[in-house]
Amino acid sequence: PGDRMSGAGELIIEGVVTTLNPDHEEGVLEDVNISPMGPLASEEMESLLLKPYTSSRTYRNLKRHGEGVFHITDDVELIARATIGKAETPLAATREITGRYLQNACRFYEFRVEELDDRKERTRIHCRVVHSERLRDLLGFNRARNAVLEAAILTSRTAFLPPGDILRQLDELQVLVDKTGAEAEHRAFSLLRDHVEEARRHQAAGNEAR
């Protein structure tokens, strides 16, 4: 999320990507990795450019398996839970690839990797969409949902940005959630704030131990 677009006819779309985890990998309890991601997509949604870091499970899974699913959803609580690694949602088998899609998404796009460049920490993975389906209408976003989405992007950067700085930005977004959010948006925002506050406590404990 946040990368500059590379040209006309392309846009960054925030959503959720599922990839298959390898069997019996140490520390992996689930078959499917669910991760928020904002790929650069063609207007026709025929191609996707993903830019996960080499430290991410999405990158490792796509390099190993080369197939995944990108989802468009208005469920910001799902996006929040995926951001902190606690997404639990119904899954179903894909049609054209070997994978799983989120049953409560609005649309999903099955894709195959065509080119993977991992010479830098931020990889570039060019993918071709091979199948797509609409599952339900997109209800849309209000100010609270947009605020949760921005909060999720900030929370995903706790490894790179000081947690205190992130919390100050969350304070500004909290106002929008308080004014226009329903229960789901409040729950999602609280999950994200708790995660960042926990990161700040860990950082403070580490500084005291030095």
The pLDDT tens digits of the residues spanning 1-33 come to 334 345 557 899 999 999 999 975 655 557 999
User: Is pLDDT at 92 greater than 90 in this prediction?
Assistant: yes
* Both structure tokens of 209: 């131990």
The count of other CB atoms within 10 Å of the CB of residue 116 is 15
* Both structure tokens of 22: 């390898």
User: Is pLDDT at 126 greater than 90 in this prediction?
Assistant: yes
User: What digits encode the pLDDT tens for the residues 136-163?
Assistant: 999 999 999 999 999 999 999 998 899 9
Residue 196: strand, helix, or coil: helix
- For residue 80, what pLDDT band results from cuts at 50, 70 and 90? very high
pLDDT value of position 30: 73
Overall residue count recorded for the chain in this entry: 210
Q: Give DSSP secondary structure letters for 40-94.
A: EEETTS-EEEE--BTTSHHHHHHHHH-EEEEEE---HHHHHHHHTT-----EEE-
pLDDT value of position 1: 39
Amino acid letter at 193?
A: R
* pLDDT mean over 123-133: 98
pLDDT value of position 5: 43
pLDDT value of position 7: 53
* Both structure tokens of 165: 């700085």
